[in-house]
């Protein structure tokens, strides 16, 4: 092998090898961390990826998912050209067409439904990724439909609602401010958000004390916890309220802070006095000593952070449970000072950077004010009041009933039916509609039910603005040309907007013009950032102190008793106090004696996006359910045996993974597998009445060994 061949084989960049390093980012875990990537390019092809040193989120590191970007980009099932359906919906029969034909067909289909049924009859839907969301939102509004639906109907927004209802603002943990104790409640950042996991490690290295509360014995619980507390799944609200009672009874509550900054303490105090340690032991399964130790740690610490995760909201009692946990911060005065929770806000495309843009205005200025109510308004009024998007978990019901008006078309980007409970119902809906358009990277089941399918490109193939904590702005350039005939999502939307003849020249002008419009008040030259190729740190304006003005709650204070929720107490049975209620989908019975938990993360996947990436699939090749060794022994189930998971609406067959990550009586199943879609067997009426969120993590089930064929 010649010296040049050795250099090429080693992927050494330089003019002699023709290998160039270009900066881009990984958008697989969108919206964050969105890690910086050095892409090694030869002859227009990505041949190697590494993390970008000094990048705000990953500082040179890549997780398993980011390291597999080459296989992700070049997956064999990439959609290559615009396609038009030629057979029945779901048959997979399509023909290639031009972009002009595809866009014209989309405009004809959507405008036809608008003329027959009204603009509201078209649902504008998105799943992953999230970078284009302001543009799709504006497209829906400019079209005249309030029905903009996202995967946030099942992810993140419920916890944001909880923070805003209680504190008037989303709050974040100041872990590196070194609290005396850090309580990660259902947090597993070593897997689900590894930059936060690094913060946990740094905190421990500096002498911090970590408490992890989780029904699953996660990697974070094993590697980081000084105290690990394992409640029965779905009982977090009872545990939190019992801790609150102990803090009040022992005189650990910060009464000066409460008197000055808290609303509803008397009603809250009376409520938590009904929670006893004895009942907490029975309901949660947590030993009395651990409950009392937890209360003392939180109540006596000079500074403490009680940080619940998004997963806590994935119960039918999710929002009240989340509120019960975060109320402990206010009860002890651990708010708005170093080493506590501090206010935050989203800067752009779901990322917080410390400065404000005009993204909300970009969307809201096109809101169709004479439109009929958005999907979910009557069923989930609290969600509808607080969020400028429809609640997707009510979509199928409205299609079935036709009330309060029919839904007859879907325009979708990145939508996967496996996100929905009883997932096949969304496909049945798509089969019935007048028109369906789908844009995606890969051939999903949902795409096969569309009339027109349009190919999108990855983050390596497009330009994109991202913002990061600390005032960082990044504007990437394409590392490679878009593969095949794919276009970026915003370019597709701009073409569709033009074909629809919408009176929206800004949206039709494309991504660059729109982004500059939204960033017009920010002291940054986006062209210079793009030319530099790396994130630029810009000065962030000093934000007013959190308590310098009334908070954004009806009382102007932190609300343990939520006046906003109280409006729906009689009409919808919502309780303004964070009371504990049972979160199961059905009463306890001998037919379904175990608890199914889903929705958690594994290191090699994000939802269903990576199951067909060979490197990542090899790390967990089969759909498998985590079964506690005690349960496995009792049922005579061995590692790798095929088992059935059965709920009141269906069953799937998977392999058993005998693991102590699950507690006895609980079984954990990762989602998104096409051959064993666990969301198909979660009842679609199993929803949190406050937010509409699915109860992914608390479903009654039966586990049994599958028959062995001879």
Give yes or no for a contact between 146 and 374, defined as CB atoms under 8 angstroms apart.
Answer: yes
| H or E stretch covering 242 | helix 236-249
635-674 pLDDT per residue, tens:
999 999 999 999 999 999 999 999 999 999 999 999 989 9
Polymer length of the chain: 710
Judged by DSSP in three states, 302 sits in coil
Averaged pLDDT for residues 345-368: 96
Displacement of CA 143 from its chain's centroid (Å): 27
pLDDT at 519 over 50: yes
671 vs 245: CA distance, rounded Å? 37
Averaged pLDDT for residues 412-435: 97
CB count in 10 Å sphere of residue 649: 16
Summary mean pLDDT of the chain: 96
What pLDDT is attached to residue 688? Answer: 98
Quick one: three-class SS letters along 43-69? CCEEEEEEECCCCCCCCCCCCHHHHCH
339 vs 639: CA distance, rounded Å? 43
Give yes or no for a contact between 550 and 556, defined as CB atoms under 8 angstroms apart.
Answer: yes
Judged by DSSP in three states, 208 sits in coil
The sheet carrying 536-537 orders its strands as 464-468, 472-476, 536-537
271 vs 331: CA distance, rounded Å? 14
What sign for the dihedral angle of Cα 154, 123, 346, 66?
A: positive
Domain ranges of the chain: 3-73, 171-343, 594-705
538 vs 219: CA distance, rounded Å? 36
CATH topology of domain 3-73: N-terminal domain of TfIIb (2.20.25)
Beta bridge partners of 667: 596, 627
In the block, which residue shows the tokens 């504007």? 475
Q: Which of 436, 605, 565 is nearest to 83 (CA)?
A: 436
Q: Which of 667, 670, 655 is nearest to 592 (CA)?
A: 667
606 vs 52: CA distance, rounded Å? 21
493-510 pLDDT per residue, tens:
999 999 999 999 999 999
pLDDT at 709 over 70: no
| pLDDT tier for residue 708 given thresholds of 50, 70 and 90 | low
Tokens matching residue 92:
């997979």
What pLDDT is attached to residue 606? Answer: 86
DSSP-assigned letter for residue 264: S
Displacement of CA 34 from its chain's centroid (Å): 14
CB count in 10 Å sphere of residue 709: 5
Q: Count H helices and E strands in the chain, helices first.
A: 27, 27
Tokens matching residue 456:
């999108």
Judged by DSSP in three states, 125 sits in strand
Please count the CA atoms within 13 angstroms of the CA of 230 that sit on its side-chain side.
13
Contacts for 319 with CB less than 8 Å, ≥ 6 apart: 158, 161, 162, 313, 688, 690, 691, 693
253-288 pLDDT per residue, tens:
999 999 999 999 999 999 999 999 999 999 999 999
Q: Where are the alpha helices (DSSP H) in 98-132?
A: 99-117
Judged by DSSP in three states, 361 sits in helix
Averaged pLDDT for residues 391-402: 98
Tokens matching residue 266:
């008397």
What pLDDT is attached to residue 172? Answer: 95
pLDDT at 710 over 50: no
CB count in 10 Å sphere of residue 589: 9
Averaged pLDDT for residues 182-188: 96
CATH topology of domain 594-705: Barwin-like endoglucanases (2.40.40)
Give yes or no for a contact between 346 and 287, defined as CB atoms under 8 angstroms apart.
Answer: no
Domain at 171-343: CATH code: 3.40.228.10
Q: Which of 333, 341, 186 is nearest to 247 (CA)?
A: 333
Q: What percent of the chain has pLDDT over 90?
A: 92
116-157 pLDDT per residue, tens:
999 999 999 999 889 999 999 999 999 999 999 999 999 999
Tokens matching residue 5:
């061949």
Contacts for 616 with CB less than 8 Å, ≥ 6 apart: 64, 65, 68, 71, 604, 605, 610
| Farthest CA pair distance, the chain | 81
In the block, which residue shows the tokens 């175990």? 594
The strand pair at 209-213 and 227-229 is best described as parallel
Omega within 30 of 0 (cis) for the link into 404: yes
533 vs 648: CA distance, rounded Å? 53
Please count the CA atoms within 13 angstroms of the CA of 162 that sit on its side-chain side.
31
252 vs 244: CA distance, rounded Å? 10
């Amino acid at each position: 092998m010649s010296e040049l061949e050795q250099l090429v084989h080693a992927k050494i960049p330089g003019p002699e090898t023709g290998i160039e390093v270009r900066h881009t980012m990984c958008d697989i875990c969108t919206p964050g961390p969105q890690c910086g990537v050095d892409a090694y390019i030869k002859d227009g092809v990505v041949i190697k990826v590494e993390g970008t040193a000094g990048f705000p989120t990953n500082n040179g590191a890549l997780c398993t998912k980011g390291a597999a970007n080459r296989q992700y980009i070049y997956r064999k099932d990439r959609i290559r050209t615009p396609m038009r359906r030629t057979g029945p919906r779901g048959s997979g029969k399509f023909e290639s067409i031009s972009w002009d034909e595809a866009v014209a067909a989309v405009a004809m289909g959507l405008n036809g439904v608008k003329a027959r049924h009204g603009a509201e009859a078209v649902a504008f839907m998105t799943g992953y990724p999230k970078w284009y969301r302001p543009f799709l939102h504006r497209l829906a509004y400019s079209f005249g439909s309030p029905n903009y639906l996202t995967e946030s109907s099942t992810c993140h927004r419920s916890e944001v609602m909880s923070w805003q209802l209680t504190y008037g603002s989303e709050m974040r943990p100041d872990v590196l401010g070194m609290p005396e104790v850090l309580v990660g409640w259902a947090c597993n950042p070593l897997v689900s958000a590894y930059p936060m996991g690094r913060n946990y490690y740094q905190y421990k290295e500096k002498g911090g004390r970590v408490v992890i509360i989780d029904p699953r014995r996660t990697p974070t619980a094993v590697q980081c916890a000084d105290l690990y507390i394992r409640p029965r799944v779905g009982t977090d609200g009872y545990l939190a309220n019992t801790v609150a009672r102990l803090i009040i009874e022992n005189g650990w509550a910060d009464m000066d802070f409460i008197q000055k900054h808290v609303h509803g303490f008397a009603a809250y105090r009376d409520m938590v006095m009904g929670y006893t340690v004895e009942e907490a032991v029975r309901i949660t399964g947590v030993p009395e000593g651990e409950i009392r130790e937890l209360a003392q740690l939180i109540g006596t610490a000079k500074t403490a952070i009680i940080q619940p995760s998004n997963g806590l909201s994935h119960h039918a009692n999710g929002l009240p449970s989340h509120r019960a946990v975060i109320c402990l911060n206010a009860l002890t005065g651990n708010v708005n000072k170093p080493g506590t929770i501090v206010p935050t806000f989203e800067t752009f495309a779901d990322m917080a950077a410390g400065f404000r843009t005009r993204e909300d205005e970009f969307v809201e200025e096109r809101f169709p004010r004479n439109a009929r109510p958005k999907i979910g308004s009557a069923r989930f009024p609290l969600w509808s009041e607080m969020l400028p998007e429809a609640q997707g978990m009510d979509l199928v019901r409205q299609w079935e009933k036709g009330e309060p008006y029919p839904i007859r078309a879907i325009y979708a980007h990145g939508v996967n039916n496996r996100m929905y409970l009883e997932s096949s119902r969304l496909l049945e809906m798509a089969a019935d509609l007048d028109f369906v358009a789908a844009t995606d990277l890969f051939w999903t089941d949902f795409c096969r039910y569309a009339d027109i399918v349009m190919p999108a490109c990855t983050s390596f193939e497009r330009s994109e603005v991202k913002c990061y904590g600390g005032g960082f702005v990044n504007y990437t350039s394409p590392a490679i040309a878009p593969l095949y005939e794919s276009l970026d999502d915003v370019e597709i939307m701009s073409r569709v907007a033009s074909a629809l003849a919408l009176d929206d020249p800004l949206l039709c002008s494309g991504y660059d013009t729109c982004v500059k419009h939204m960033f017009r008040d920010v002291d940054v030259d986006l062209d210079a950032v793009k030319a530099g190729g790396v994130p630029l740190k810009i000065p962030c304006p000093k934000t007013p102190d959190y308590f310098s003005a009334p908070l954004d709650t009806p009382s102007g204070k932190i609300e343990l008793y939520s006046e906003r929720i109280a409006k729906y107490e009689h009409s919808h049975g919502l309780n303004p106090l964070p009371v504990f209620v049972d979160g199961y989908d059905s009463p306890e019975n001998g037919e379904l004696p175990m608890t199914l938990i889903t929705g958690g993360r594994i290191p090699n996947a994000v939802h269903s996006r990576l199951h067909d990436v060979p490197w990542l699939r090899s790390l967990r090749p089969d759909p498998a359910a985590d079964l506690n060794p005690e349960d496995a022994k009792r049922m005579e189930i061995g590692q790798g045996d095929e088992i059935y998971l059965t709920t009141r609406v269906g069953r799937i067959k998977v392999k058993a993974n005998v693991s102590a990550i699950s507690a006895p009586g609980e079984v954990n199943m990762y989602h998104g597998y096409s051959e064993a879609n666990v969301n198909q067997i979660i009842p679609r009426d199993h929803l949190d009445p406050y937010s509409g969120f699915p109860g992914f993590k608390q479903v009654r089930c039966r586990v049994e060994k599958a028959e062995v064929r001879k």
